[in-house]
């Protein structure tokens, strides 16, 4: 088998210089690329720092004050909404009760002469909230049985309610030539509703 000729010292030095030069050139190119990327990153960081500094320099006190004001107005509006909802519900119930009383009086041939409804009171039993309405009713009729019939109709209408005390006034039989007086009844009525929680 033929042997390769031995390289001279000059050729070896030339090959070593070429290899080292190639390595140095590749290293320089890689170093230059890293330097370029580093400069780009430094520029991006400087830009980000400038943006952050600009945001930090913005005066947010006016916006914070406006947000606080809006939160306060929102809380006030929510409270007012709840208050109006309760008042509306109270008005609705009191109107329903009064309409029912006038209807019962008409069916019993009585006339309601006075009707007053107090503001509702709230209470709770085992987590269930109730609202109670107190009413004072005065009615008149030609004869006492009509008044008793009126009270019976009210009692049947509000089975969960309570009636009392009851005061009945029956006039003496009219004398000849005098105007016939009417019988009157005055009683207190308490009606209770279960409050519906808002969804």
131 neighbors 121 (Cβ within 8 angstroms): yes
SS (H, E, C) 11-62: HHHHHHHHHHHHHHHHHHHHHHHHHHHHHHHHHHHHHHHHHHHHHHHCCCHH
CATH code of the domain in which 186 resides: 3.30.70.60
For 25-79, write each residue's pLDDT tens digit. 888 888 888 888 888 888 888 888 888 888 777 777 888 888 888 888 888 887 7
DSSP string, 130-151: EEEEEEEEEEEESSHHHHHHHH
Number of domains in the chain: 1
Domain assignment of residue 4, yes or no: no
Domain assignment of residue 76, yes or no: no
Among 140, 153, 161, 185, CA closest to 93: 161
Domain assignment of residue 19, yes or no: no
Query: For residue 199, what pLDDT is reported?
Result: 34
Query: For residue 198, what pLDDT is reported?
Result: 39
Domain assignment of residue 13, yes or no: no
Name the helix (H) or strand (E) containing 167. strand 162-169
| Residue 137: both structure tokens together | 């009713």
For 170-198, write each residue's pLDDT tens digit. 887 766 655 578 889 999 999 888 776 53
DSSP 3-state of 188: strand
How many other C-beta atoms are found inside a 10 Å radius of the C-beta of residue 65?
Answer: 10
Q: How far is CA 20 from the centre of its chain?
A: 79
- Domain boundaries, position 96: 81-194
């Amino acid at each position: 088998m033929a042997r390769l000729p031995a390289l001279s010292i000059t050729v070896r030095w030339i090959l070593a210089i070429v290899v080292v030069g190639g390595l140095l050139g590749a290293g320089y190119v890689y170093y230059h690329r890293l330097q370029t990327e580093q400069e780009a990153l430094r520029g991006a960081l400087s830009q980000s720092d400038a943006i952050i500094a600009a945001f930090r320099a913005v005066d947010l006190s006016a916006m914070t004050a406006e947000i606080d004001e809006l939160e306060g107005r929102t809380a006030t509006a929510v409270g007012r909404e709840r208050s109006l909802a309760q008042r509306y519900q109270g008005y609705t119930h009191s109107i329903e009760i009064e309409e029912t009383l006038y209807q019962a009086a008409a069916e019993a041939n009585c006339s309601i002469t006075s009707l007053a409804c107090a503001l509702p009171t709230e209470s709770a039993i085992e987590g269930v909230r109730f609202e109670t309405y107190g009413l004072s009713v005065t009615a008149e009729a030609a004869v006492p049985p009509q008044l008793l019939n009126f009270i019976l109709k009210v009692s049947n209408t509000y089975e969960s309610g309570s009636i009392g005390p009851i005061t009945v006034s029956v006039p003496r039989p009219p004398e000849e030539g005098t105007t016939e007086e009417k019988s009157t009844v005055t009683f207190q009525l308490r009606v209770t509703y279960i409050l519906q929680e808002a969804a």
